């Protein structure tokens, strides 16, 4: 038996807080009866309706994908481009946790667990994302320091972050730079480099939290273990 608000949140319908509001507002029915008590418990056989819609209680799936270049991180694309979901064989309605750009590669988590998704992308939870960027030119110490202290993008300063030059290749005149951020603003890494005068030639997300894509070829994915799912919840609860 589980608390009604937990079951609603776990289904991906909304956050637990929102589920509590819906219950208190009398918007939730269990087996046809309005339940406005927050401690109410249900089991797998109970039919739950929220706002007069039956709640789908499908099994949760958690996937880490090594996203290739040239694929969009949405569930549907109006330009008919290939989406990350086209790469995954499942009958569940999965959705990506956050976004990677069309040309960005690497670690992307997909799940139908709305509660975990909400927690992982909430800025308060500061989940680390590790990126490796290939940038044009020599990435000097001063630019590195500036970036790590925070730069203004779209009028708002970025949080302090970890930045490290890994390698400079004289022949191609490019640098490989590791950046660890916990925010998730639109095109954040590219814009941070632009703010200190560098162009990103390639971008890969090496890790999302503690999850990497080692052993996965581009376009390949694997299911998370129960231990990994618990570890993710442990980070954000
Ligand atoms: N920052 C970017 O600029 N692009 C991404 O895809 C992810 C982070």
Domain CATH for 142? 3.30.70.1560
Same domain, 196 and 143: yes
What tens digit of pLDDT does each residue of 175-207 get?
A: 999 999 999 999 999 999 999 999 999 999 999
Enclosing domain of residue 227: 62-123+211-236
Same domain, 19 and 83: no
Give yes or no for residue 153 having a pLDDT over 80: yes
Q: Of all residues in the chain, what percent carry a pLDDT higher than 70?
A: 100
At 40, list the tokens: 């109410």
- Which of 54, 76, 94 is at the close of a domain? 54
Of residues 39 and 211, more confidence is placed in 211
Residue nearest to atom 2 of ligand 1 (CA): 187
Same domain, 110 and 11: no
* pLDDT score for 78: 86
What tens digit of pLDDT does each residue of 30-75 get?
A: 999 999 999 899 998 899 999 998 998 778 899 999 999 999 998 8
d(CA 160, CA 97): 23
Give the closest residue to 193 by CA, choosing from 155, 137, 121: 137
Q: 102 CA distance to ligand 1 centroid (A)? A: 9
Q: Would you place residue 114 in the very low, low, confident or very high pLDDT band (cuts 50, 70, 90)?
A: confident
Same domain, 147 and 194: yes
Same domain, 50 and 77: no
Number of domain units in the chain: 3
Same domain, 103 and 149: no
Environment class of 142 (CB within 10 Å of its CB; exposed 0-12, middle 13-18, buried 19+)? exposed
* pLDDT score for 237: 77
Ligand 1: residue of 179, 187, 194 to mutate (most ligand atoms within 8 A of CB) is 187
Same domain, 221 and 201: no
Q: Stretch 139-164: mean pLDDT, rounded? A: 98
Same domain, 41 and 14: yes
Domain CATH for 41? 3.10.290.10
Active site (annotated) includes residue 101? yes
Same domain, 200 and 218: no
Q: Of all residues in the chain, what percent carry a pLDDT higher than 90?
A: 83
* pLDDT score for 222: 98
Closest atom of ligand 1 to 129 CA is 8
Give yes or no for residue 101 having a pLDDT over 80: yes
Q: Structure pTM?
A: 0.82
Same domain, 8 and 43: yes
Please state, rounded to an integer, the average pLDDT across all residues of the chain: 94
Pairing of strands 62-67, 105-111: antiparallel
Same domain, 187 and 203: yes
């Amino acid at each position: 038996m589980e608390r009604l608000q937990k079951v609603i949140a776990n289904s991906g319908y909304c956050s637990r807080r929102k589920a509590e509001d819906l219950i208190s507002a009398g918007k939730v029915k269990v087996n046809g009866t309005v339940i406005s008590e927050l401690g109410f418990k249900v089991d797998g056989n109970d039919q739950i309706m929220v706002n007069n819609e039956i709640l789908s209680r499908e099994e949760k799936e958690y996937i880490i994908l090594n996203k290739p270049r040239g694929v969009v991180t949405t569930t549907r694309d109006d330009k008919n481009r290939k989406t990350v979901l086209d790469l995954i064989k499942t009958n569940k309605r999965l959705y990506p946790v956050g976004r990677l750009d069309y040309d960005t590669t690497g670690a992307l988590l997909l799940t139908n667990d709305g509660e975990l998704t909400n927690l992982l992308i909430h800025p308060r939870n500061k989940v680390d994302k590790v990126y490796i960027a290939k940038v044009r030119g020599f990435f000097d110490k001063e630019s590195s320091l500036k970036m790590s202290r925070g730069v203004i993008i779209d009028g708002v300063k970025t949080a302090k972050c970890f930045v490290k030059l890994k390698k400079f290749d004289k022949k191609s005149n490019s640098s490989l730079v590791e950046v660890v951020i916990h925010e998730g603003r639109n095109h954040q890494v590219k814009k941070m480099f632009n703010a200190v005068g560098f162009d990103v030639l390639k971008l890969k997300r090496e890790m999302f939290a503690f999850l990497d894509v080692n052993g996965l070829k581009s376009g390949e994915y694997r299911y998370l273990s129960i231990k990994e799912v618990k570890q993710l919840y442990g980070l954000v609860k």
